[in-house]
Amino acid sequence: MKKPIHKKWWFWVIVGIIVMGALGSLVDEPEKNANSVKSEAISEKKATTASVNKQEKKDITEPTEEEWQANYKDILLSEARTYIELTVKGTMSQERLESAKGVLKQQIEKITGPDKEKFNQLVKAVEKENLKEAKRLYISLGGKDFEELKKEPAPKETESKKTTVQSSKPGDIGMDVEGFRKAFNSTATNLNLADLTIGKLKVQDGAVQDVFSYKISEYVYLQGIVNKSDGSVREVTMIGAGDGTPQSGTDILLTIGLVIASTNPGLTTEERAGVLQDLGLLSEGVDITQINQSTKRNGIKYTIKGSKELGIWFIASDANEK
C-alpha cells in the first residue's frame, strides 16, 4: 500500500516552499528582495526534486497501467455516486450537475479496455439525467452501496421556487475566463512553472451556467463555472488525483498556491500562510484525504476537501454568495 501523501517528507517541503516564498514575487516588496526570494524558492524546488528523484529510485515504483485505470474508474464511479445521492435528496443544483458532467467526461477519455463502453453508458445516463439507468449501471460496475441508492428521488422544487433561485444574482470571483487564465499564467511564468500554465480555455454552454475544464497535468485539472449573464467566473475548482509520488504532490500543492495567488494577488507571504493554516494544511498530523475546511480572504472563499475516492478538491468562489 502506498504511503499517504501527507506522510511523505517532501509534502511538507513543498508546503514550506509555497508558504515561505514560492509565490513571493506577487507581493508588493522591493524588487531585489522579491527576486532573491524567487531564486531561493526555485533553487530549493530544484534541489528537492533532484533529491526526491534519487530517493524514489530506491523506494517508489511508478503506478502500473492497471493501477491508473482503477483510479480513473474510481473517480468516475464516485462522481456518479454524487449525482445519484444529490438527485435523490433533491439538492442537485444545475451548477453541480454541470460540474459532475465535466468530471465524468474527463475520466471516460482516460478509461480503456473492454468495460469502457459500459462506463460510457453511465456517463451518458448522467448527462441525460436518467437516474434509474445511472443507478443500474453504477451497481453493475461495482459501485459501493449507499443509502440513496435504494430510495426514490425527492419531489422537485415548484416552479415558483426555481424562479426565485434563478433570479438571484450569482456570485463571481472578480474576473472573466480570460482574466483568470492570464492571472494564473502570469503567476506561473514568474515562478518558472511553465509546465503548469493554462492554454486556451473552451467554455461549454450549460443549461443555467457555462463551464470550462482544463488538464494541468496528469494529476491535476481545473474546472470553472461561468455566469451566462456577463461571462464572469463564478468559481474555480482544482481536482487533484495524487498517487503518492512527489510529482503528483508537487503539481497539486503548487496549483493550490497558484489559484490562491491568481485570485488574491494582494496577499503577503504571511497572509498566504494564514490561508493554508486556516484550511488545516499546516496542522500537525493532518490527513489530507479527510480534510474539509474553508476560509475567506478579500471576498474570496477558499475550500479544500479530500477523500480517498475523489482525491483533493480546492475551490475558489465568491465569499459573499449565499
Q: The whole model's pTM is what?
A: 0.56
What does the buried/exposed string (b/e) look like for 162-181 if buried means 16 or more CB atoms within 10 Å of the residue's CB?
Answer: eeeeeeeebbbbbbbbeebb
Inter-residue contact 246 to 52 (CB < 8 Å): yes
Confidence bin at 58 (pLDDT 50/70/90): very low
Domain borders along the chain are 65-167, 177-318
pLDDT one-digit tens code per residue, 171-215? 899 999 999 999 999 888 887 888 899 999 999 888 778 999 999
Position 4 pLDDT exceeds 70? no
- The cell numbers describing 144, all together, are 459501493
Q: Where are the alpha helices (DSSP H) in 60-93?
A: 65-89
Confidence at residue 53, expressed as pLDDT on a 0 to 100 scale: 47
pLDDT one-digit tens code per residue, 101-129? 877 887 898 899 999 999 999 999 999 99
pLDDT one-digit tens code per residue, 229-259? 889 999 999 998 877 777 888 888 889 989 9
Pseudo-torsion of CA 73, 236, 273, 265, nearest 10°?
Answer: 150
Residues 6+ apart with CB under 8 A from 231: 176, 177
Confidence bin at 41 (pLDDT 50/70/90): very low
Position 38 pLDDT exceeds 50? no
